């Protein structure tokens, strides 16, 4: 359970408005040149970066709202198509870690090309079991939030490789593995606490808030599922999440 703090409620509420104004305004500058005039390339890049980061901040707020909602047991019952959720989660995670990689992926065109680009970047996908053919009954946004957070971490902390597997015949089983430095046994409980970092910076320079895994754990628990970490120093990490259908 996430402890509710009225100040946090207020913060989420009050930040949503200004952030939306920032992203809508930049969107207008970038896409309505007939109205605002042409944008030189050098400025376009900077504006795009501002837009991406404003969107990231909005996404973070959205995640906090989602966790609060699920704490209240408020789940939507969607028919979740796992292949779609995987694709969107990979795009979101790539956008956070490496925007160039994200644009390559979004231009892929076909399913095959998408998987090809992933594998050239050390990412493998394996979907088996019931949900390779049938939708999974649960809240789509929350399933996506779990997968996106685990993939973002794996991409942040891997050396070269990441593997994402989906399986299960009743409960959905999501496994995300990487070949990074791993997490020593004695730190494994702490990483699920809010604002905890093992190190301040990763190789790719992406800094986080230490918020993602605490959200994932809280979500998974309210979904009556479980999250298990298998890792050790120098051994990479493997996170396995099991969620029963709604």
Ligand X SMILES: Nc1ncnc2c1ncn2[C@@H]1O[C@H](COP(=O)(O)OP(=O)(O)OP(=O)(O)O)[C@@H](O)[C@H]1O
- Give min distance, CB of 231 to Mg ion, in A: 15
Regarding 197 and contact with ligand X (CB under 6 A), the answer is yes
Cβ closer to ligand X: 29 or 155? 155
Q: Which residue's entry shows tokens 């930040």?
A: 15
DSSP E strands in the chain: the ranges are: 78-80, 123-127, 136-138, 162-167, 172-178, 226-231, 237-243
Which of the listed partners (Mg ion, ligand X, none) does 175 bind, with a CB threshold of 5 to 8 Å by partner kind? none
- CA distances (Å), origin 127, targets 25, 40, 86: 40, 44, 10
Tell how far CA 18 is from the center of its chain.
23
Binding ligand X (rule: CB under 6 A), the pick from 131, 142, 174, 180 is 180
Site string for Mg ion, 197-236 (x = CB under 5 A): -----------x---x------------------------
Site string for Mg ion, 82-121 (x = CB under 5 A): ----------------------------------------
Cβ closer to Mg ion: 145 or 167? 145
Instruction: Please give the residue whose beta carbon sits closest to Mg ion in the complex.
Output: 212
Regarding 213 and contact with ligand X (CB under 6 A), the answer is yes
Give every CB contact of residue 244 below 8 A, 6+ residues apart in sequence: 170, 171, 223, 224, 225
146 and 216 Cβ atoms separated by less than 8 Å: yes
Cβ closer to ligand X: 50 or 206? 206
Residue 234 has a CB neighbour count (10 Å cut-off) of 9
Residues in the chain: 246
- Give min distance, CB of 158 to ligand X, in A: 7
d(CA 14, CA 23): 15
d(CA 172, CA 151): 16
Regarding 165 and contact with ligand X (CB under 6 A), the answer is no
Residues that bind ligand X (CB under 6 A): 149, 153-154, 157, 178, 180, 183, 191, 196-199, 208-214, 237
Residues that bind Mg ion (CB under 5 A): 153, 208, 212
């Amino acid at each position: 359970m996430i402890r509710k703090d009225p100040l946090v409620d207020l913060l989420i509420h009050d930040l949503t408005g200004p952030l939306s104004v920032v992203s809508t305004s930049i969107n207008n500058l970038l896409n309505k040149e007939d109205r605002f005039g042409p944008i030189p390339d050098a400025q376009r890049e900077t504006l795009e970066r501002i837009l991406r980061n404003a969107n990231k901040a909005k996404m973070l707020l959205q995640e906090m709202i989602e966790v609060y909602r699920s704490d209240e047991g408020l789940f939507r019952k969607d028919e979740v198509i796992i292949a779609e959720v995987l694709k969107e989660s990979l795009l979101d995670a790539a956008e956070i870690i490496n925007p160039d990689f994200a644009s390559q992926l979004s231009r892929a065109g076909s399913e095959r090309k998408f998987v090809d680009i992933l594998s050239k970047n050390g990412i493998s996908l394996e979907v088996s079991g019931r949900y390779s053919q049938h939708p999974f009954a649960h809240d789509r946004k929350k399933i996506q939030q779990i997968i996106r957070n685990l993939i973002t971490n794996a991409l942040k902390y891997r050396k070269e490789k990441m593997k994402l597997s989906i399986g299960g015949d009743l409960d959905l089983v999501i496994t995300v593995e990487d070949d990074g430095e791993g997490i020593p046994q004695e730190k494994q409980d702490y990483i699920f606490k809010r604002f905890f970092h093992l190190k301040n910076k990763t190789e790719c320079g992406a800094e986080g808030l230490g918020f993602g895994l605490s959200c994932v754990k809280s979500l998974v628990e309210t979904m009556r599922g479980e999250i298990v970490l298998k890792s050790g120093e120098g051994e990479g990490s493997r996170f396995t999440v099991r969620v029963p259908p709604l």
